[in-house]
Amino acid sequence: MTDLLNALVALANFVIIPASAYGAQLALGALGVTLVYGILRFSNFAHGDTMAFGTTITILVTWALQAAGVSLGPLPTALLALPVGIAACAVMVLVTDRAVYRFYREVRAKPVILMIVSIGVMFIMNGLVRFIIGPDDQSFADGARFVISAREFKQWSGLDEGLALKSTQLLTLVTAALVVAVLFWFLNRTRTGKSMRAYSDNEDLALLSGVDPERVVRVTWLIVAALATVAGVLYGLDKSFKPFTYFQILLPIFASAIVGGLGSPVGAIAGGFVIAFSEVTVTYAWKKVLGYLLPESLEPSALVQLLSTDYKFAVSFVILLVVLLFRPTGLFRGKSV
Amino acid sequence: MRGAMLFGLVALMIVATGLMQSWNSALLILNMGLVSAIMSLGLNLQWGFAGLLNVGVMGFVALGGLAAVLVGTAPIPEAWAAGGWRIVAALIFAGGVIALAAVALRRLTRYRGLATLAILVAGFFVYRWIFDGGVAAVEAINPASAGNLGGLGLPILMAWPVGGLLAAGAAWIIGKTALGLRSDYMAIATLGIAEIIIAVLKNEDWLTRGVKNVFGIPRPVPYEINLQQSASFVERAQGLGLDPVTASTLWVKTLYAGLFTVVLVVLLVLAQLALKSPWGRMMRAIRDNETAAEAMGKNVTGRHLQIFILGSAICGIAGAMMTTLDSQLTPASYQPLRYTFLIWVMVIVGGSGNNFGAVLGGFLIWFLWVQVEPMGLWFLELVTSGMSDGPVKAHLLDSAAHMRLLTMGVVLLVVLRFAPRGLLPER
C-alpha cells in the first residue's frame, strides 16, 4: 500500500505536475498560433519571438519594480509588470500588422507568402529582443519558491517520496485556467468574439453580414499579444528566459496547435497537454516509480528512460506525424486554407 | 545584363573588403559565400522550381558535415573491437523491426494495430539493450580525444559526394512521409526533422563525439605550417613581397576557393540544364498548377520526391564542404536561424526560380551577414558618440552583434514587399 502511494507521489512529483505546467504554457502559446491561423490564415513563425518580446518588456519592468522595492509578497513581482508587457507587445504586433501584414491581406497574397513574411518578422523580433536584453539567460522570478516543499510533504505524510509544488507551477495552472475561461467567454458570448468566429468560419459570409475585417484582425492581434506575453512570462518564471529557447519552443507549440487541429481553440489546449505529457513521460527515467510498483526480483537496474531528454523535440514531432498521417485535420477538426 | 552588374557589384564589395580590411577576411567571405551559394542553389531547386517548403535545410547541411567525419577521419580500431559491431548490429536489428512492423501493418487482417505496436515496443527494448551496451563500450575508449568510432580514413574530397548521398537518403525517408502534407504542415515537419538530426549529432557521442566536437578532420589542401617550412614556397612568397605566414594562409584559402568554385560551377551548369530541359518545365508547371499538371498525367508526388531529394543532396554537399573548410564538426553550432532561415533569405532576395539569382543571393546575403556586424558597430559608435560613457552606451555597443538578425529581417521584408520576385527574377 505504501509502495503504491510512494509510486503515485513520485509520479505526481516528476511527471504529472511538471507536465501540467508545461502543457498549460504550450496551450497558451498554441492558442495564439491557432487564432492567427484561424483569422489571418497563415502559420505565424514569429510567434515564439512575439512571446520573447512581451516577456522581455515584462522582465525589464519587473527589474525596475524590484529596484524600487515593490513586491507582491509571496507572488512574483512579474505579475505586476505583466500588463505593461502585454501593452508593449500589443503595440508591437499592431505596428507590425500595419507596416507588414496588411499589405499582403489587401493584395490577397497566398498563405505561404504570408508565412515567409512572418519569417522576416521573426528575424526582426529576434534581433530586437537580443538587442534589448542580450542573448543570455535571465532570471526574474521572486516571491515564495514552493507552495508545498518536498521536505514538508514527507514530514506530513510519512512517505519516502516527497511531493514538491513550485509556486510558479501553481501560478501557471491558475493563470492559464483564468485566461482560457476569459477567452472562451469572449469568443462565445460577446458580439466581437462571435464576429471573430464568423470571420474565421466563412470570410465572405461574415463580410456580407457587416463584420469589419480590419477590426476583427486588430482584436485578434490584441488577444494574440496578451496570450503570447502571458505564456512567455509563465514559461520564463517556471524555467528561465533565454531568447533562443523561445525560438525553439515554436516547434512544440506548432505541434500542439496542429495536433489539436489548426484554427480550433479547444484543440490547441488539448494539443498542448498531449504534447507536454508525452514529452515528459517519454523522457522521464521510470526506475523510481517501477521500483515501487514491481516486486523486488523484477526491479529494473537501468534508468528505464525511453529517450534522453535531448530528444524531446523528436517526441513532439513523432506525435505530429502520427496525427497528420491518421487524422490530418487534428484531434478537433481544424481547418485548412 | 542586370545579373552581370549585380555579380560585379558583389565582386567589388569583396575586393573592397580585401583592400580595406584584409585579404584574409575577403577570402573567408568568398569561401563561405561559395558554400552559401551552393546551399541556396539546393533550396532554389526545391522552392524555386517546385514550390516545396523545406524549412529543414540545417538538417541536410549537418548530415553533410557528418559525412566529412565518417569519410575523412581515421578509423579507431579499438572502438570497433570494443562495441562498434554491436552498435551496427543494433541498428540493423532496428531496421529489421521496423520492416517487420511495416509488414505486419500491411499483411495482418485481425489485431493489426495491436500486433504492430507489440512488435515496435518489444523491438525497441531489445534494440536499446543491444545498442546501449555497444555505445557504453565505444564511448569508454579514450574519451578525452576519441570515444567515437572514427571514420573510414578515405580522402576527404570523397566526403562531398558522400555528404550528398547521406542527405539524399534522409530526404528520401522524410519525403516519403512529409511531402504528402499541406504546405504549412510540411514546413513544420521539416523544421522538426532538422532539429532531430541536430539532436542526434549532439547526443550520439559514439558517432560524432557530440558536444565534444570532432577536431582535425583532414584537408584536401596543404597545411599552412608545411608551406611555411617548404623552401620553395617561402622563396616564391618573398618574390611577391609577402611574409611566409600571411602568404601561406592566403594560399590555403585560395586553394579552397578554387575547389569550391569548381563544385559551384558544375552544380550551376547542371541546375541550369535541368531548368531549361522538359523536366524543368514540367516542374514549374506542377508548381504553378498542381491539379492541371496532374490532369496532364504528371506524377506530382513522384516528381516532388525527386526534386526534394536532389535539392537536399546539394545542401548535403555544401554541408560537407563547409565542415571540410572548418576542419571540425561542432554540432552545437548548427542553429536554424543561420542554416535554414538565412538560406531562405538568400533564395528569396536573389530571386526564387532563377539559379543565378540564388547564387547571387548566396554571396550577397553572406557578405551582409558578415559585414553588418562591423558596420553596425560603426553605426552605433556614431550614434553613441554624443553620449557620455555609461551602461546604456556600453549596452548599445555590445549589442552590435545582434544587428545582423535585424538587418536580415528588414532586407527580407523589403524585398518581399517591393521586389517579390527577387533581384534576378525568374524568366
Position A324 confidence tier, pLDDT thresholds 50, 70, 90: confident
Least confident of A191-200, A314-323, B2-11, B311-320: A314-323
Best mutation target, B179, B185, B201, B379, to test chain A (most A CBs within 10 A): B185
Are the CB atoms for A21 and A177 separated by under 8 Å?
no
In a domain, B171, yes or no: yes
CB atoms within 10 A of CB B9: 13
Partner residue facing A100 (CB), from B178, B407, B413: B413
**CB B192 to CB A251 under 8 A?**
yes
- Which residue from B minimizes the CA distance to A117? B413
Number of domains in chain B: 2
Residues B337 and A334: their CA atoms lie apart, in Å, by 29
Choices 3.30.43, 1.10.3470, 1.20.120, 3.40.50: CATH for A2-244: 1.10.3470
- State the angle between helix axes of B57-72 and B183-203 in degrees (0 to 180), rounded to the nearest 10: 30
Are the CB atoms for A231 and A51 separated by under 8 Å?
yes
- Which residue from B minimizes the CA distance to A125? B406
Backbone φ and ψ for B375, nearest 5 degrees, come out as: -65, -40
B184 and B297 belong to one structural domain = yes
B118 and B68 belong to one structural domain = no
* The Cα angle at residue B70 between residues B67 and B76, in degrees rounded to 5: 170
B70 and B84 belong to one structural domain = no
**CB A244 to CB B335 under 8 A?**
yes
Of the candidates A234, A266, A251, the one whose C-alpha atom is nearest the C-alpha of residue A318 is A251
Residues A22 and A7: their CA atoms lie apart, in Å, by 22
Which is more confident, A224 or A136?
A224
In a domain, B354, yes or no: yes
Domain boundary residue, one of B149, B170, B205: B149
Q: Which pLDDT does position B39 carry in this prediction?
A: 97
**CB A255 to CB B192 under 8 A?**
yes
Least confident of A38-42, A196-200, B183-187, B340-344: B183-187
- Per-window interface: B 265-324 vs A, CB < 8 A: none
Of the candidates B415, B125, B104, the one whose C-alpha atom is nearest the C-alpha of residue A116 is B415
Q: Report the b/e string of A38-61 with b at 16+ CB within 10 A.
A: bbbbbbbbbbbbbbbbbbbbbbbb
Q: What is the 3-state secondary structure (H, E, C) of A174-227?
A: HHHHHHHHHHHHHHHHCHHHHHHHHHHHCHHHHHHCCCCHHHHHHHHHHHHHHH
In a domain, B425, yes or no: no
B102 and B53 belong to one structural domain = no
B88 and B167 belong to one structural domain = no
In a domain, B271, yes or no: yes
B213 and B313 belong to one structural domain = yes
**CB A130 to CB B335 under 8 A?**
no
Mean pLDDT, residues A156-178: 89
Smallest CA–CA distance, residue A151 to chain B, in Å, is: 34
Position A336 confidence tier, pLDDT thresholds 50, 70, 90: low
Is the pLDDT confidence value at A306 over 80?
A: no
- Which residue from A minimizes the CA distance to B178? A321
The answer to whether B343 faces chain A, any CB pair under 8 Å, is no
The answer to whether B113 faces chain A, any CB pair under 8 Å, is no
**CB B203 to CB A311 under 8 A?**
yes
- Which residue from B minimizes the CA distance to A96? B413
Size of interface A-B (CB pairs under 8 A): 123
Is pTM beyond 0.90 here? yes
For chain A, the structural domain boundaries read 2-244
In a domain, B249, yes or no: yes
- Residues of chain B in contact with residue A308, where contact means CB-CB under 8 angstroms, are 203
Q: Which pLDDT does position B151 carry in this prediction?
A: 86
| Collapsed DSSP state (helix, strand, coil) of residue B426 | coil
In DSSP terms, A72 is beta-bridged to A75
**CB A127 to CB B53 under 8 A?**
no
- Which residue from B minimizes the CA distance to A110? B183
In a domain, B383, yes or no: yes
B87 and B46 belong to one structural domain = no
Strand ranges in chain A using DSSP code E only, listed in sequence order: 146-148, 165-166
Distance of CA A175 to the CA centre of its chain: 12
- Per-window interface: A 205-264 vs B, CB < 8 A: 244, 247-248, 250-251, 254-255, 258, 262
Q: How many Cα atoms are found within 13 Å in the side-chain-facing hemisphere of B211? A: 4
Q: Report the b/e string of B364-384 with b at 16+ CB within 10 A.
A: bbbbbbbbbbeebbeebeeeb
Determine the straight-line distance between the first and last CA of chain A, rounded to whole angstroms.
Answer: 54
Smallest CA–CA distance, residue B312 to chain A, in Å, is: 20
In a domain, B423, yes or no: no
Position A334 confidence tier, pLDDT thresholds 50, 70, 90: low
Are the CB atoms for B183 and B124 separated by under 8 Å?
no
User: What are A62-88's pLDDT values in tens digits?
Assistant: 999 999 988 888 889 999 999 999 999
Q: Which pLDDT does position A337 carry in this prediction?
A: 47
Q: Report the b/e string of B324-363 with b at 16+ CB within 10 A.
A: bbebbbbbeebebbbbbbbbbbbbbbbbbbbbbbbbbbbb
- Per-window interface: A 138-197 vs B, CB < 8 A: none
Q: How many Cα atoms are found within 13 Å in the side-chain-facing hemisphere of B14? A: 21
Of the candidates A270, A320, A282, the one whose C-alpha atom is nearest the C-alpha of residue A27 is A270
- Residues of chain B in contact with residue A317, where contact means CB-CB under 8 angstroms, are 189, 192-193, 195-196
In a domain, B426, yes or no: no
Of the candidates A293, A259, A295, the one whose C-alpha atom is nearest the C-alpha of residue A275 is A259
B101 and B213 belong to one structural domain = no
- Residues of chain A in contact with residue B191, where contact means CB-CB under 8 angstroms, are 250-251, 254
What nine digits make up the cell of A78? 512579474
Smallest CA–CA distance, residue B370 to chain A, in Å, is: 15
Range of the domain at B118: 76-149
- Residues of chain B in contact with residue A248, where contact means CB-CB under 8 angstroms, are 195
B92 and B183 belong to one structural domain = no
Residues 6+ apart with CB under 8 A from B17: B25, B26, B29, B367, B371
Is the pLDDT confidence value at A52 over 70?
A: yes
B25 and B118 belong to one structural domain = no
- State the angle between helix axes of B355-384 and B244-276 in degrees (0 to 180), rounded to the nearest 10: 130
Are the CB atoms for A57 and A237 separated by under 8 Å?
no
* Mean pLDDT, chain B cut into blocks of 10 residues (427 residues total): 91 93 93 97 95 94 95 89 89 93 86 87 90 87 82 92 96 87 84 89 88 88 88 87 88 95 97 94 92 92 94 97 94 91 95 94 95 85 79 78 88 94 91
Partner residue facing B193 (CB), from A248, A250, A317: A317
Q: Taking phi first (over 0 means left), then psi (-120 to 50 degrees means alpha), and beta for anything else, what does residue A311 get?
A: alpha
Residues A303 and A299: their CA atoms lie apart, in Å, by 11
Partner residue facing A314 (CB), from B132, B196, B202: B196
Q: Which pLDDT does position B415 carry in this prediction?
A: 95
Is the pLDDT confidence value at A335 over 70?
A: no
B37 and B162 belong to one structural domain = yes
- Per-window interface: A 294-313 vs B, CB < 8 A: 302, 306, 308, 310-311, 313
- Residues of chain A in contact with residue B335, where contact means CB-CB under 8 angstroms, are 244
Best mutation target, A47, A116, A246, to test chain B (most B CBs within 10 A): A116
Return mean pLDDT, chain A.
Answer: 89
State how far the alpha carbon of A38 is from the alpha carbons of A163, A212, A259, in Å. 40, 16, 15
Residues 6+ apart with CB under 8 A from B182: A336
Counting every residue written for chain A, the total comes to: 337
Residues B255 and A30: their CA atoms lie apart, in Å, by 50
Residues A316 and A313: their CA atoms lie apart, in Å, by 5
What nine digits make up the cell of A263? 484554427
Question: What's at B7, amino acid-wise?
Answer: F
CATH number of domain containing B43? 1.10.3470
Long-range contacts of B227-236 (CB under 8 A, 24+ apart): B227/B251, B227/B252
What nine digits make up the cell of A85? 508587457
B190 and B49 belong to one structural domain = yes
Smallest CA–CA distance, residue B149 to chain A, in Å, is: 21
Mean pLDDT, residues A179-186: 95
